[in-house]
Amino acid sequence: MNMKLSGAKVLVVGLKKSGMASAELLVRHGAGVSLTDLKGLDELPGGHEFVSRLGIPFRRQSAETFEDYDLIVLSPDVPADLPQLDAARRRGTQVIGEVELAAPFLQGRTIGITGSNGKTTTTSLIGHILRHAGVTVQVGGNIGTPVTAMVETSRSDGWNVLELSSFQLETIAEFRAHIGLALNVTQNHLDRHHTFERYAAAKGRLFETMHAEDIAILNAEDPVCVGYAARTVARVEWFSGQHKVESGASLGAGKLILDGKLLMEAGEIPIRGQHNVENVLAAAVAAARVGVDGAAIAAAVRTFQAVEHRLEFVRQVSGIDFYNDSKATSVDATMKALDAFPGALWVILGGKDKGLDYSVLRDPLAARAHAALLIGAAAKKIAGALEGAVPLVDCQTLEGAVAYAYEHGQPGDTVLLAPACSSFDQFRSFEHRGEVFKQIVGGLPLKQ
């Protein structure tokens, strides 16, 4: 970001966690800050208190809101291609995202993790391994703490481990990861990026801003990730769940191999699913390049707990297991969740549609599921795509779906919330949806 903030007129768009953290940082650096959001202050949790505490003007977003600023800072959920933003750019206003704003102020070195699925688990796992090995580390980005809120706690001798979404990466210019990971790139967020190519390109920005002494860790089995190798000057390393790799980590005959040496047995990994083996391979390469040895990496992996809302075991009631994978907000994430179970599934699908193709779920559901239990706004579209492949039950709500599965389930069955959709039709966030699911399951009585 090539701008002196002191005295600059800055507009922060979006007043959730990222927007608030951006405003705080800007105020600290002497900028004249204004805030805007599509919602009014009454609808924004903590909005009134925040605005009055910092003494910052707020106005509800309109076409005129974006005029007359030196800099506009976007929260991740604000599309970068709004017509008003294009007009502002033509007037010479710099438009950046929250991650780019943080970049010049973040001390220490950075590991950036992107991908369609597995980002949260891999980010959390890398943080866990580094902490376990005594490395100074803080974790945030798209999970937990916005990057602008990590600036104050960043240390020159520490590592910042950041989950980075396509929304955050599409607006970077100077932000740099010293180690960058791309786990996989599959269809997602087409409602925002419009085409798969634009979505993939947004994620690829992570590698385009890296330097020659940096390290890009890419999935050798994912064609989009392989393509990123040509877009970076960083040294490329690989991970693969299927083939041996020269430099990096791979899986063969149930063993994880890191830099040519046995790391651990796949059966020792405490989290379910083949995709999590790949996440461990990627995390192991990153941790090794930070300087952690193989034995310490393996020891940390063995003590890692599943991330909340990510194939999280909730409870067993009357012999039926309940799993919360509310973070499966894309079709590919749901495919990976289904793959983690041998069968006897009751699968809860639905929510807000993101323009994805649900028909690819036909075969795995036919092979593994008793039924698909449909909820939310996308239920009709999903039903059309799955008709004839698997029994479909229109349950409308999460409560209805859990009740149906529990009533019809037998001991040994698994009820899996893996919706393949975002949550915003009925819930505030995927976390809120997962919490509600856990509350409902927690209240189920034993069968008589």
Question: Residue 379 falls within a domain, yes or no?
Answer: yes
Q: Residue 4 falls within a domain, yes or no?
A: no
| 203: three-class secondary structure by DSSP | helix
Residue type, 262: L
State the pLDDT at residue 9. 96
Whole-number pLDDT of residue 189: 52
Band (pLDDT 50/70/90 cuts) for residue 193 is very low
Torsion angle, CA of 340/342/344/345, rounded to 10 degrees?
A: 20
DSSP one-letter code for 352: B
Residue 191 has pLDDT above 80, yes or no: no
Predicted confidence band of residue 292 (pLDDT cuts 50, 70, 90)? very high
**Token pair 């924004």 is at which residue?**
44
Whether 223 and 155 map to the same domain: the answer is yes
- If asked whether residues 294 and 319 sit together in one domain, one would say no
- Host domain of residue 393: 312-442
Q: Examine residue 3 and state whether it is found in any structural domain, yes or no.
A: no
* 263/133 same-domain check: yes
**pLDDT exceeds cutoff 60 at 342:** yes
CA–CA separation, 280 and 275 (whole Å): 9
Q: In what order do the strands lie in the sheet with 312-317?
A: 312-317, 320-324, 414-417, 345-350, 369-375, 392-396
115: helix, strand or coil? coil
Last residue of a domain, one of 302, 325, 355: 302
87 and 121 inside one domain: no
The order of strands in the sheet holding 179-182 is 137-141, 159-163, 109-114, 179-182, 215-219, 235-240, 248-252, 255-258, 261-265
- Residue 65 and residue 120 share a domain: no
Same domain? 228 vs 275: yes
Last residue of a domain, one of 52, 82, 98: 98
Contact 329, 421 (CB under 8 A): yes
pLDDT in tens, 211-254: 999 999 999 999 999 999 999 999 999 999 999 998 899 999 99
Residue ending a domain, among 302, 322, 352, is: 302
Distance (Å, rounded) from C-alpha 179 to C-alpha 19? 26
- The pLDDT, as a whole number, for residue 170 is 87
Predicted local distance difference test score (pLDDT) of residue 194 = 63
Flag whether pLDDT at 149 surpasses 60.
yes
Q: How many domains does the chain have?
A: 3
3-state secondary structure 133-157: CCCCEEEEECCCCCHHHCCCCCCCC
Residues 298 and 331 both lie in one domain = no
| Least reliable range by pLDDT among 2-6, 141-145, 273-277, 290-294 | 2-6
Q: Is residue 1 part of a domain?
A: no
Are 204 and 141 part of one and the same domain?
yes
The CATH number that applies at residue 90 is 3.40.50.720
Residues 257 and 114 in one domain: yes
Do both 262 and 117 map to the same domain? yes
Where residue 326 sits, what CATH number does that domain have? 3.90.190.20
pLDDT in tens, 44-97: 989 999 999 999 999 999 888 898 999 999 998 888 888 899 999 999 999 999
Residue 306: its pLDDT value, please?
A: 75
